[in-house]
Amino acid sequence: MRDDAATQTRPVNLILLGPPGAGKGTQARMLEEGFGLIQLSTGDLLRGAVAAGTEAGLAAKAVMDRGDLVSDEIVLAVLKERLAQPDVAAGIILDGFPRTAGQAAALDDLMAERGQQIDAVISLAVEDEAMVARVAGRYTCASCGEGYHDQFKQPAVAGVCDKCGGTQMKRRPDDNAETVRTRLNAYHADTAPLIDYYAARGTLTEIDAMSDIGEVRAGMAAIVGKLTSA
């Protein structure tokens, strides 16, 4: 992926669309490394707000633990705060945003205000049943956030992060089979319609995200590489 970075000539703004477990976070982190883009995960921003005990975090926690969608108002507030930081000028990967028609319309306005555009929307196509196993087996490094999986992506040395050497791993409170099913339902009801919304604009590319992580990564790198060198 480092070679791809050498060819980058302009920042691009991407959206990764996909249900829980599709690999949005896994792929966003790889694109971040390979292309110097900034991952903006509204899930991570909300979990940060919960951990910090902010008003937004307090309001979001119970909703997230149930697997329902947090209100557009709260999500937009945390996203706008993050977008005010200068590093986003490098180009962004929106991971888990937008998730509703209201959020998509608000993003259009935000981009227009910034004199920018979304260059590509990548939809990660997966099968629901496989997502339950993916999410239930997931854990991350508590120090650097690198993601792992009991079955699909283990660190080279058990319990030791490949990236930073950290030895504390953690699991998300919403990563259980029951909550994943609620999250999948929310995806199909509110987020999947955005596939047509972006297809109608000609910005949508679908990628088969049922193949292994490396293959998905290669497909992503091909799409983003074309954009950054265009």
Q: Which residues are catalytic?
A: 24, 99, 138, 172, 183
State yes or no: residue 91 binds ligand AP5 (CB under 6 A).
Answer: no
Q: Rule CB under 5 A: which of 17-36 touch Mg ion?
A: 25
What is the rounded distance in angstroms from the CA atom of residue 226 to the CA atom of residue 230?
A: 6
Q: x/- binding map, residues 110-149, to ligand AP5, per CB under 6 A?
A: ------------------------xx--x--------x-x
Tell which residue, 30, 16, 1, 8, has the closest CA to residue 228. 8
CB of 25 to Mg ion, least distance (A): 3
Give yes or no for a contact between 23 and 209, defined as CB atoms under 8 angstroms apart.
yes
User: Distances in Å between the alpha carbon of 56 and those of 51, 133, 134, 173, 215?
Assistant: 11, 30, 28, 18, 37
Question: What are 125's strand-pairing partners?
Answer: 208
Q: Which is nearer to Mg ion, 25 or 67 (CB)?
A: 25
CB atoms near residue 112 (< 10 Å): 10
Residues 164-203 that bind ligand AP5 (CB under 6 A): 183
CB of 208 to ligand AP5, least distance (A): 9
Binding site for Mg ion (CB under 5 A): 25
